[in-house]
Amino acid sequence: MIIRRRSIQSSKERFLTEAQTLRDEANLLPHGPLRDAVLKKARHAEAMAHMEDWVDSSGLRPLKKDDTPGPG
């Protein structure tokens, strides 16, 4: 039997925590491709954290039939 635990943190909090951890790790590395890769992961994690805000925003609305791209 597999027991799954619910996370106490939201996905946004987990991504932001991961981003901070990665930035801290990058600060310990010398300048170079490895550090750049770690910073890129941190930026990606921050972007993922903010995606949830964007998806939940009231500004988004479903496309109407007339709004669909393509030949009319």
* pLDDT 10s digits, 27-54: 999 999 999 999 999 999 999 998 877 7
- Structure-block tokens of residue 26: 């990058």
Give CA–CA dist 7/36, Å, rounded.
Answer: 30
**Does the pLDDT at position 25 exceed 80?**
yes
- Structure-block tokens of residue 25: 């790790």
pTM over 0.75: no
